[in-house]
Amino acid sequence: MFKVPTVAADRLPALLRRMPKAELHIHIEGSLEPELIFALAHRNGLSLPYADVAALKRAYAFSNLQSFLDIYYAGASVLITEQDFYDMARAYFVKAAQDRVLHAELFFDPQTHTARGVPMRTIVSGLHRACVDARAELGVSALLIMCFLRHLSEEAAFATLEEALPFRDQIVGIGLDSGELGNPPEKFAKVFARCRQLGFRLVAHAGEEGPPAYVWTALDELKVERIDHGVQSTHDAALMQRLARDRIALTVCPLSNLKLCVFPDLARHTLGQLLDAGIVATVNSDDPAYFGGYLNSNFTETFAALGLKAAQAYTLARNSFEASFIEPAAKQAYIRQLDECFETFR
257/319 with CB nearer ligand ADE: 257
Q: Which is nearer to ligand ADE, 99 or 180 (CB)?
A: 180
* Residue 23, contacted partner among ligand ADE, Zn ion, none, CB below 5-8 A by kind: none
C-alpha–C-alpha distance, residues 287 and 256, integer Å: 7
Smallest gap from Cβ 158 to ligand ADE, in A, equals 20
Minimum CB distance to Zn ion smaller for 70 or for 276: 70
Q: In the complex, which residue's CB is closest to ligand ADE? A: 177
Give the binding-site size for Zn ion (rule: CB under 5 A). 1
CA distance 257 to 19: 23
User: For residues 291 and 321, which CB has a smaller minimum distance to ligand ADE in the complex?
Assistant: 291
As a residue count, the chain comes to 346
Nearest approach in angstroms of CB 326 to ligand ADE is 23
DSSP string, 59-87: T---SSHHHHHHHHHHHHTT--SHHHHHH
Instruction: Please name which of 123, 95, 92 lies closest in space to residue 109, comparing C-alpha atoms.
Output: 123
Q: In this chain, which of 21, 27, 187, 226 binds ligand ADE, going by CB under 6 A? A: 27
How far apart are CB 287 and ligand ADE at their closest, in Å? Answer: 5
109 lies in the site for Zn ion, by CB under 5 A: no
How far is it, in rounded angstroms, from Cα 77 to Cα 305?
35
Applying the rule CB under 6 A, the residues between 152 and 181 that interact with ligand ADE are 177-178
Which regions of 95-197 does DSSP assign to beta strands (E)? 101-108, 141-149, 173-177
Burial of 302 (0-12, 13-18, 19+ CB in 10 A): buried
**Among 30, 75, 288, 293, which residue interacts with ligand ADE (rule: CB under 6 A)?**
30
Q: Using CB under 5 A as the criterion, what x/- string covers residues 275-314 for binding Zn ion? A: -----------x----------------------------
- For residue 33, the SS3 value is coil
Residues 239-268 that bind ligand ADE (CB under 6 A): 256
> What is the DSSP secondary structure assignment for residue 111, as one 8-state letter?
H
d(CA 75, CA 57): 11
User: Measured from the CB atom, is 105 or 177 closer to ligand ADE?
Assistant: 177
343 catalytic? Reply is no
> CA dihedral defined by 279, 284, 287, 288, rounded to 10 degrees?
150
List residues bridging with 107 in a β-sheet: 27, 145
Does position 208 bind ligand ADE by CB under 6 A? yes
Give the catalytic positions in this structure: 208
Instruction: Note the residues at the interface with ligand ADE (CB under 6 A).
Output: 27, 30, 65, 72, 177-178, 205, 208, 256, 286-287
The binding site for Zn ion (CB under 5 A) comprises: 286
